[in-house]
Amino acid sequence: MADDVERLLETPPFTVVGREDPRPHEEGGRTPQEFAALQARGQQLGLDILEAVRKHQLAAPRTQQSDKRILGPSELGGCREYIRASIAGDPKEPATRVKWAAFLGTVTGDAIEEAVCAQIPGAVTQERVTVTLPSGTRATGSLDIRLGREGIIDLKSKSGITDIMSEGPTLKHLIQISAYLVGALQADLVEPDAYASLLYFDRAGDEKRMYAFVIDVEDAMYFLDVADRRLLDIAEAMATGVTQSYLRDEPESWCFHTQCPFYQACWGGEDYNPTGKITDARSTEAIRRYDKLRSIKKTAEAGIAQAKSQLFPDQTDERTKVEGVTSDGLQLKWRLKENASGFISYVIDVRQK
């Protein structure tokens, strides 16, 4: 039986990938129209599942807390205009797209937490804590992991961790983990010499390592002072009626990408978005061509990343590295390269021999 299947796989026009029916038409396969109709049902199923994920995200506790405009540790170091608009009660735009990367990161983080609880004695996950800042401001959130009274861990998913390994955590993440650590200390859940670790992982799975950045209570108190100064900026802006100005801490492209609920209020005015009509055929065609080629480029970059991962699955283990020459003369080798920050990584080199 196995030999029969192997011969079938090797016999054209049989294929198990692509957009064609895997069965030859003369052997009971469908017409192209029938096959396309069947695949259309599958595409609709995928859309239905994405919509289910979007609704699930909207019902998540963190989203509900945000909708109720309750300040959490993850907001303390974020965009000051977002905090101002939340406190002021400015109208929010509903999320229309599924936040897929965030969903994958959450699901993976939940699985990591489950593994830690099963394997490390004394580990606790999703523990609610409230931190009181030096100014008296309070924020409530959930610890990802507490390792007894020794310290806490906040998991962060990234699409690749090379940048974070080179540049370190953002201020937003540092303030967030500081709030968790001090909140846990104030609740007598950890010792005064406890630590807090931001633990970054690659949600795509290409990078097999994790990157940890650790702070202690003294560091955490410093970052909470920074958070208080940021809240003072917001209070002064609200007292003077300042909006959508120096409080905006993120670029427009990031606000659009993350579907900030205050995006239109910040960036939707005529002073930012062009309103003039483009009518000449040459410019219109160039815009459409650019948009199409940009999509092709994104698809190509994703395919290149996938191929590189297959050819060197674990860059911490050189035994997983593929090198050599193909039968049609393509030569593959890997070389080490150091970037401007001193971070060294492998770079793929493919060329015709």
What would the pLDDT profile of 118-158 be if each residue is shown by its tens digit? 999 999 999 999 999 999 999 999 999 999 999 999 999 98
Task: Check pLDDT > 90 for residue 337.
Answer: no
Pick the closest to residue 194 from 131, 224, 150, 143 (CA basis): 150
User: What is the average per-residue pLDDT within 9-21?
Assistant: 46
Per DSSP, the residues of 12-76 read TT--SSTTS-SS-GGGTPPPHHHHHHHHHHHHHHHHHHHHHHHHHHHTSHHHHHHHTT---HHHH
User: What is the average per-residue pLDDT within 303-314?
Assistant: 85
Report how far apart, in Å, the C-alpha atoms of 248 and of each of 72, 81, 85 are. 19, 5, 11
* Share of the chain residues as helix, strand and coil, in percent rounded to the nearest 5: 50, 20, 35
Instruction: Please report which confidence band the pLDDT of residue 299 belongs to, taking 50, 70 and 90 as the band edges.
Output: confident
Provide the pLDDT for residue 4: 46
Provide the pLDDT for residue 7: 45
Task: Check pLDDT > 60 for residue 211.
Answer: yes
Provide the pLDDT for residue 48: 81
The answer to whether the CB of 142 falls within 8 A of the CB of 128 is yes
Provide the pLDDT for residue 273: 64
Provide the pLDDT for residue 225: 96
SS3 of 213, please?
A: strand
- Is the model more confident about 147 or about 342? 147
User: What is the average per-residue pLDDT within 261-267?
Assistant: 87
Provide the pLDDT for residue 23: 66
Instruction: Please report which confidence band the pLDDT of residue 77 belongs to, taking 50, 70 and 90 as the band edges.
Output: very high
Instruction: Please report which confidence band the pLDDT of residue 10 belongs to, taking 50, 70 and 90 as the band edges.
Output: very low
What would the pLDDT profile of 89-102 be if each residue is shown by its tens digit? 888 887 777 778 88
User: What is the average per-residue pLDDT within 296-321?
Assistant: 85
Q: How far apart are CA 176 and CA 170, in angstroms?
A: 10
pTM equals 0.70
Query: Worst-scoring range by mean pLDDT, 40-44, 102-106, 238-242?
Result: 40-44
What would the pLDDT profile of 227-261 be if each residue is shown by its tens digit? 999 999 999 999 988 888 889 998 888 888 888 88
